[in-house]
Amino acid sequence: MKGLATVQILQEIERGTGKRMHELFDLICGTSTGGIFASALGIKLMSSDQLEEIYRNLGKVVFSEPVQKKNEAATWKHKLDQLYKSSSQSFRVVAKGSKHNAEKLEKLLQDMCADEDGDDILIETAVKNIPKVFLVSTLASVTPAQPFIFRNYQYPVGKPEVPIATSKSSGTTMLGSPTTGTQL
């Protein structure tokens, strides 16, 4: 899984600096599994080692391919299995429009953005001294599909709303919102 390379890069950055990601960055963002990374690192203040564990479990749940164990060489049987899985993944892209189980990914993302009581921590973390975090998603319930931003911060008081996206096909202009959700 490609995201594992990202996790390994983040681990090296943490090892090299002796600091966690939330201590190094003021703004962290992501899409898809990167949204889970952003929430884990920027809101839940997890280490990149904890992120690796989450990602390995994520691969078992969300993606059609198993996650390779640390330092495990790929055998011919494993490669053949991967070829089969990639064919089923290609079918999933054609039939459903994504390479992964979107419902399971969404549930994991909701879990990452919730506290122990299940409350939305995007709102609660807006006043804490942690990085600003935003997650980019797609509103597939509208045609054409529209990007949407979940964030844990608000725009500065008094900042006027400005158009942030214009759809040339529909001529629709979306305005930014001062809440923790913004339709682009």
Say if residue 13 is in the same domain as residue 38.
yes
- What would the mean pLDDT of 160-175 be, rounded to a whole number? 50
Say if residue 158 is in the same domain as residue 172.
yes
Say if residue 95 is in the same domain as residue 78.
yes
- The pLDDT value recorded for residue 90 is 43
| Per-residue pLDDT at 7 exceeds 80 | yes
More confident of the two residues 50 and 63: 50
More confident of the two residues 53 and 175: 53
Say if residue 109 is in the same domain as residue 40.
yes
pLDDT tens digits for 76-134?
Answer: 556 556 555 555 444 433 444 445 556 666 676 667 767 677 666 665 666 678 899 98
For helices 102-112 and 48-61, the axis angle rounded to 10 degrees is: 150
- Say how many domains are in the chain: 2
pLDDT tens digits for 40-59?
Answer: 999 889 999 999 998 888 76
Q: Domain limits at 91?
A: 70-99
| Per-residue pLDDT at 10 exceeds 90 | yes
Say if residue 123 is in the same domain as residue 177.
yes
Say if residue 48 is in the same domain as residue 82.
no
Q: How far apart are CA 87 and CA 77, in angstroms?
A: 16
